[in-house]
A and B are shown apart, each in its own frame.
Chain A
Amino acid sequence: MAQIQDNKPLFIISGLMILYALLASSGILHPLMKYLHTAKTADLQVTMGFIAGGIGILGAIINSVRKPGTTLIDRFVLQPLPGILMILLMAMAIRWYVEPVVKLISHSLQPVLGFKIYKVLNLNYVILGLLAGVILTNTYGIPKFAQAGVKCARFVLKMGVIMLGARYSFAELAKLGTYSIFLVGFFVLGTVFFVLWLGGIFKQPKTMTGVLSAGMGVCGVSATVAVAPVVKARSEEMAYTIGTILSFGIICMFVFPTIGHMAGMNAVQFGAWAGTGILNSAQVAAAALAFNAVDIKTLKVAEIFNITRVLFLPIIVLVLATWFGKESGKKLTFKEVVIDKFPIFILGFLLLFAMSSMGLFSPPTHYKGKFIDFSYNDRTQITEKEWETLKKAVDTGTIKGLTPEQMEAVKDLVAQRQIAGNYEDRNDKKLFYRQGEQRMFQLEAILAAAKAKTIEIPPDVKAAIKHAVKQVHKKSKTVTTLTDCMIWFFAFGLIGLGMQITKKAIFQAGGWPLVIGVISGVTKAALSFVVVLWLVKDVVLK
């Protein structure tokens, strides 16, 4: 009986998920979903509700009838399950309800404020999820039953990066890798030495500047955690440094996407800038998804920069260990400094990249544009900005010279936010796909006419149509599934990571670490912004 009581939260969460799936499948929620523009994902909502809820109920029953043990299944599945399902429930609620409501509120407040809050603050499901995690942990606290599950967030985020490996081609990796090695190499090493130099100028202890230089230069708190034992940092140096890096990173996470949009950066430029200038690597992923959560281009670029930075971590640890060893006369082993600090998940990323490159997930024909995907999902949609551009163009009649069929195709694109057949015909797959193909043909005809200069359309409208056509080109099912899982893994991981950001850690910021941190952080962000805009050009990404 006591065990059933212990598993009450798991029963409740799983029950809620199943109940939601039942309501969603019955159609009761359809008007609400339509109002919130989430009706297209109704099938996914039902499937996820049933699967996650079913697993939860099964886990709760097993936990109730047998004594908790220390087996791998206990430690990695049964004990963290309540926390995992709690975060998943939060992710589902945020993606399908909170984000659309925030968008609707922003739209209604626009006449009063003159701008859309969600656009300025980039309040998409990723940022909202992270904020929800931060708010929960700093108000009510993480419920005891969920604590083991929250710890899984780090693992889940690594899984997201590993899966992302399947989305790169050799050409992309070569091009982005070259950019990242030069930029990250310059800015990582530059910031590390800049902080050490500032520390000398301000006459600060080397233990403090050592730990701060790693954090500001390489990958934020992760680098601080890795370097602190190596340079034998004092307690206040660790506390002040972590507080400074954490707060600076959180500010960057909100500010970077807004500046990126204002400066008109493309996905590659923003990914490169975020991957170089933002301190904490989790915040790089969040900022990339905040910049654009529909298209994973930005995330792909940012993660390459992130991975390059992470690969610099053992090198920086080695440099600082050598520098500190000389000062103190202590010697550290190669294993302690480099092998133990090597991020093993990057091997997983490279493995997925290799498997994808060998064609294990996607036959070569899938990349020749023969296969088109008109199904309803986030990946086939145009971005919010593109949708607004098209809607405005249709409403104001700025697109001229189109045939009635072409105009209909544009209007339908505005109505459905993607190229697709008629929504009411979605169950008749043949008809639905034929309608979608006809619309795509009309849109491609508009692009061809614009290229031949027989019609004139505004460049942003042309770009939106081009993107819509590109979005429906079919990828292999395996790659698509991996991408969908990856997006959910990132959303899940960032909620969990948000739960590990406490106000107590943030409020440790202050003293000389704050002064040196702000000078070096702002310099790095500003310089990398200029360099990225100057040097980084668009790279064709699939």
Chain B
Amino acid sequence: MFQSLLLCTHGTAGARQAEQLVFATLCAAAPDIRITVLTIIDRDWQDMTGDDWLNSSKTHAAFLDHVQQQVQEENEEDWQRIRRTYPAAAAATFVSVVGPIEETMAVEAEKRGCDLIVIGPHRKSRRLFNLEMDKGLRARTDTLLLHRLLPCPLLIAPLHPENGP
């Protein structure tokens, strides 16, 4: 039914359920489906300099360059994990784009002619009380905003019980 699929992941527990749904379930049912794995580098990293006023613009630029380079390296590590875990991922296209989360999903899906977007389920954040650190920047997908922008159907992977409510 679907020809091209956009899988949005950033390696967290919820996103991994979306990966499993796509590569273990959907690919088994439709092996010819084209898959694009999209990792968005959150544009809000720009705001992470907070109330810093001492550093020069050069130091700010060096920080943002480092963030981008670091996040790209971490994405590469994550893509390697996906390739190792799911043989079906070998044929997938992996891309990372800097931008606001919802808009970037919609724009990339349209640009790549995708007819389905797959994302992970909403999970409660336990960041404050969990000593183990989650990868990257804590960011939530604003589903209401995403619904307004969607160029194609959206599939949300079901929440696995061990990932909590």
Contacts and interface: CB of A to CB of B under 8 A. Distances in A.
Given A343-B54, A510-B127, A505 B133 contact: no
A502 B70 CA distance: 22
Interface in A470-504: 493, 497-498, 500-502, 504
A249 B52 CA distance: 12
Contact of B131 (A340, A344, A511): A511
A236 interface: yes
Interface string A232-247: 1111111110100010
A516 B26 CA distance: 44
A511 B47 contact: no
B14 to A, nearest CB: 16
B65 A229 contact: yes
A282 B53 contact: yes
Interface residues of A, number: 51
Contacts of A510: 127-130, 133
A222 B54 contact: yes
B51 A512 contact: no
Interface of A is mostly: helix
Interface residues of B, number: 36
Contacts of A225: 49, 52, 55, 59-60, 63
Interface in A212-257: 219-222, 225-226, 228-229, 232-240, 242, 246, 249
A508 interface: yes
Interface string A335-353: 0000011011000000000
B165 interface: no
A228 B65 CA distance: 11
A228 B66 contact: yes
Given A504-B139, A510-B127, A514-B128, A239 B48 contact: yes
A323 interface: no
B71 to A, nearest CB: 5
A369 to B, nearest CB: 37
Interface string A310-343: 1001000000000000000000000000001101
A225 to B, nearest CB: 5
B50 A500 contact: yes
Nearest to A153: B53
Interface string B40-84: 000010011111111110111011011100110010000000000
A504 B127 contact: no
B148 interface: no
B131 A512 contact: yes
Nearest to B129: A510
B52 A508 contact: no
B54 A281 contact: yes
A504 B44 contact: yes
Interface string A444-483: 0000000000000000000000000000000000000000
B54 A511 contact: no
B162 interface: no
Contacts of A497: 51, 53
Interface in B105-140: 125, 127-139
A226 B61 CA distance: 10
B48 A505 contact: yes
Given A343-B54, A504-B44, A505-B48, A229 B133 contact: no
Contacts of A249: 51
Given A228-B66, A235-B137, A511-B131, A340 B58 contact: yes
A508 B137 contact: yes
B133 A512 contact: yes
Given A235-B67, A236-B135, A501 B50 contact: yes
Contacts of B139: 504
A338 B67 CA distance: 21
Given A229-B62, A236-B136, A505-B50, A222 B55 contact: yes
B66 A246 contact: no
B6 to A, nearest CB: 23
Nearest to A506: B50
B67 A310 contact: no
Contacts of A226: 55, 59, 63
Contacts of B129: 510
Nearest to B58: A340
B13 to A, nearest CB: 14
B136 A235 contact: yes
A510 B137 CA distance: 12
Nearest to B60: A225
Given A225-B59, A504-B139, 5 more contacts: A221-B50, A235-B137, A238-B48, A281-B53, A502-B47
Interface of A: 153-154, 157-158, 219-222, 225-226, 228-229, 232-240, 242, 246, 249, 280-283, 310, 313, 340-341, 343-344, 493, 497-498, 500-502, 504-505, 507-515
14 contacts: A158-B53, A219-B54, A225-B55, A225-B60, A229-B62, A232-B70, A235-B137, A238-B67, A280-B50, A313-B54, A343-B54, A498-B51, A501-B50, A501-B51
6 closest A-B pairs by beta carbon, nearest first, are A229-B66, A510-B127, A154-B53, A222-B54, A222-B52, A511-B133
